[in-house]
Chain A
Amino acid sequence: MIQLQKSTIHRRTILKAGVAAGALQIAAPYIVKAQGEQPIKIGVDNPLTGIYTALGKNENAGMALAAEQINAKGGILGRKVELLIEDSTSDKTDVAVQKARKLIQSDKVDFLIGNVNSSQAIAISQVAAELKVPHIDPGGHADVITGSSCQWTTFRVCNTGAMQGNAMAKPLVNIGKKIYIIAQDYAFGHSLADGLSKAAKEAGGTIVGTDFFPLGTTDYSATLIKARGANPDILVDLAAGDDGINSLKQAVQFGIDKQLHLAGMQQELEVLEGLPPEARVGTWLFEWYWNQPKDVPGVADFVAAIRKSTGKVPTARTWFGFAAIHSFALAANQAKALDAVKVCHALEGLKLPPEVACQPGQPFYRAEDHQLVPAVFVGHAQAKGTSDPEDLFVVDQVVQGPSFIPPVSETGCKLNYPS
């Protein structure tokens, strides 16, 4: 009996082994083919928790749409695109770095994207350069990212403080000469404040005061009392996110908008939507806006697609994410390779086609510092949209990138490709 059992097992084992071997032979070509069809992985290291959650999620929604469009058109080099999304948190730079390393070293992503927070974007850019992975910063605005800390692997979709300052200085000085600036006390706030101070002085304005307040300040009364005391023509509020909402809400409750002109540079739809109607005031710069003054090819389709997937109109953040993913696909398809050096060279000078650009003019990545040169939208906030409840901004003027981007020599960027 025992012998019989043993022999049965033995026979079955052999049988199984035989079947497995046969299957391997049949399967072998498929395995190879499956390797060829392995998706191209793009790591997304953006905030999903904390104060920048809304901005991070909007950027990610744009990325998801872009990936879907790319896959529908055959992917990158014939392979599907897959997004690997990690939460960088909104303020913990060490977490952002750890996630960037995880995405590159353990998930083996081909490209990396991040981050809304400038400090995190700088750190991620250093990791990407060290590990030689092409990286796009979709929404961290600090100048150094494409300036003194620029890396051969890093490209940026959103604008620098200097760019916004140059674009906004003239419209502001036309309103009034005496300018008071309040800004957040970290890389982003300082970049914007420096950019505007320099450009406004060149345009004939005077900066009568600049105050930096800690990130996440809740009470702005003291700062506002001080700014008001300096008696400026314009109060420029450079705070972003919740800080922007809190400071504007309080400024309007103080009636400051009725005594002097409230303005700023980078304003976002996310902030205007979070404000009560009476606080939607002032002159601002939008880096991208969905309701543009003239019909531009691509915009309507983009707006409709995002509305379908999220139920809301795209914001500048959505477009940043959208443009970033498309940029990688365009560059890799053009280079016909995934090699970091080749893709980065292909990104240099890359012009965004109309369906990706979604704006008048043709944005391109400047080869010398890897900064995108897009148009910006200068206009004013409105309490309620006339035709659409999400239309909270009126574009008065479209300013083209080449007119406001400072020369490369002023950015302090020197790119060092590996030899």
Chain B
Amino acid sequence: MTQVILFNVLNGLIVGAFYALMALGLSLILNLSGVINFAHGGFLALGAYLAYSMAPYIGFWGGLVFAPFVTAALGIIVEHVLIRRLYGRDPLYSLLLTFGLAYIFQDGLRYTWGAQSVPYQIPGWLASPLSASLFFLTGYRVFMVIIVALAVAALFLILGYTRLGIRIRAGTLDLDTVSVLGVNVRVLRNLNFGLGIYLAGLAGVLAAGLLGLSPTIGDQLIMPSFVAIIVGGLGSLPGTLAGGLLIGVAAGLTAVFFPAAQEAVIYVMMALVLLIRPNGLFGDAGRVQ
């Protein structure tokens, strides 16, 4: 029993890392632009399908590198054409827009690639356990954690040390002042949206290795990511990261004792956090408008 619990804690961290990757993308967009991007799951699915279609030509690795970039490019276009028109309005407008976009994405994918799941193959040497006793540590899961760690490290480096990143962080705190200081806020928000969508595309390619690739692949992953943001605290990227890991472990542990509640438990956690610490575990009071 102890072994099963230990396995599940470790495994929960792996799953949580994945939720965190999606949640970070959502969080970036939410923090700077105030847009709750319901179409994030659609972008995720698109990234996965692009990698699937690229695989015969440039292989799994090529898909992993290029599909998220193509997805991000589309994200930049969508922001430029649709989403930027709703900045400054009630968040409900962008919520409705992205909600509609999510449906358009899903049906567009269904129209292009069919309703039935398609088989997405990962390299054979990744698709097996590393050892017989720790059988849940497959090559692919370890690989996923490494990619997530690299992506998160790169994201924090960009935010911490590049001109773009510093402006994004400053804009999150006080967009008006950043604008007055001569930063082109439109371009900043556009690039920031692209960065968030890049993370969605990357998450999609990684997810397709674990799950069946169908047009609804993003739907089931998007809610845990929102929960990760709320548990971690709105406005705090490290909080989002911690939130993702935390709900992963909670879901894993619940699966041992009460499997039917493994999804419900993350919402219970969210409710508890909202009751006890309404700003989330790492959120600052008064930071979020």
Contact = CB atoms under 8 A, between A and B. Distances in A.
B195 interface: no
Interface stretch (B23-31, B151-159, B250-258, B270-278): B250-258
Contacts of A75: none
Interface stretch (B87-95, B123-131, B175-183, B226-234): B123-131
Question: How many interface residues does chain A have, given as a range?
Answer: 35 or more
A222 B8 contact: yes
Nearest to B122: A276
Contact of A226 (B4, B106, B114, B215): B4
B187 interface: no
Given A222-B251, A228-B135, A253-B127, A242 B107 contact: no
A250 B129 CA distance: 11
Given A213-B259, A242-B212, A255-B129, A225 B138 contact: no
Interface string B2-13: 011001100110
B259 A242 contact: no
B268 to A, nearest CB: 14
Interface stretch (A46-54, A157-165, A362-370): A46-54
B112 interface: no
A131 B114 CA distance: 36
Contacts of A255: 128-129, 132, 135, 138
Contacts of B211: 218, 242, 245-246, 249
Contact of A274 (B118, B124, B129, B264): B118
A61 B110 CA distance: 17
Contacts of B260: 185, 212-214
Interface string A310-342: 000000000000000000000000000000000
B257 to A, nearest CB: 9
Given A229-B4, A273-B119, A246 B212 contact: yes
B212 A278 contact: no
A296 interface: no
B238 to A, nearest CB: 23
Interface residues of B, number: 52
Interface string B100-126: 000000110010001111111110100
Interface in B23-47: none
B120 to A, nearest CB: 7
Contacts of A222: 8, 11-12, 251-256, 259, 262
Nearest to B216: A51
Most B CB contacts (10 A, CB to CB) among A222, A250, A256, A271 go to A222
Contacts of B138: 253-255
Contact of B107 (A49, A218, A256, A275): A49
Contacts of B207: 218
Given A246-B211, A254-B138, A274-B116, A218 B220 contact: yes
A218 B215 CA distance: 14
A217 B262 CA distance: 9
Interface in A21-65: 49-51, 53-54, 57
A276 B120 contact: yes
Contact of A225 (B11, B210, B263): B11
Given A53-B110, A57-B115, A278-B127, A213 B210 contact: no
A256 B122 CA distance: 18
A221 B249 CA distance: 12
A49 B3 CA distance: 41
Interface of B: 3-4, 7-8, 11-12, 14-15, 106-107, 110, 114-122, 124, 127-129, 132, 135-136, 138, 140-141, 207, 210-216, 219-221, 251-256, 259-260, 262-264
Interface of A: 49-51, 53-54, 57, 185, 211-214, 216-219, 221-226, 228-229, 242, 245-246, 249-250, 252-256, 259, 270-271, 273-278
Given A225-B11, A242-B211, 11 more contacts: A185-B260, A218-B210, A222-B8, A222-B255, A222-B256, A223-B255, A229-B4, A246-B210, A254-B129, A276-B119, A276-B121
Top-8 shortest CB links A-B: A274-B117, A222-B255, A245-B212, A53-B115, A54-B116, A54-B115, A211-B259, A214-B263
8 contacts: A54-B116, A222-B8, A225-B4, A229-B4, A270-B116, A273-B119, A275-B212, A277-B121
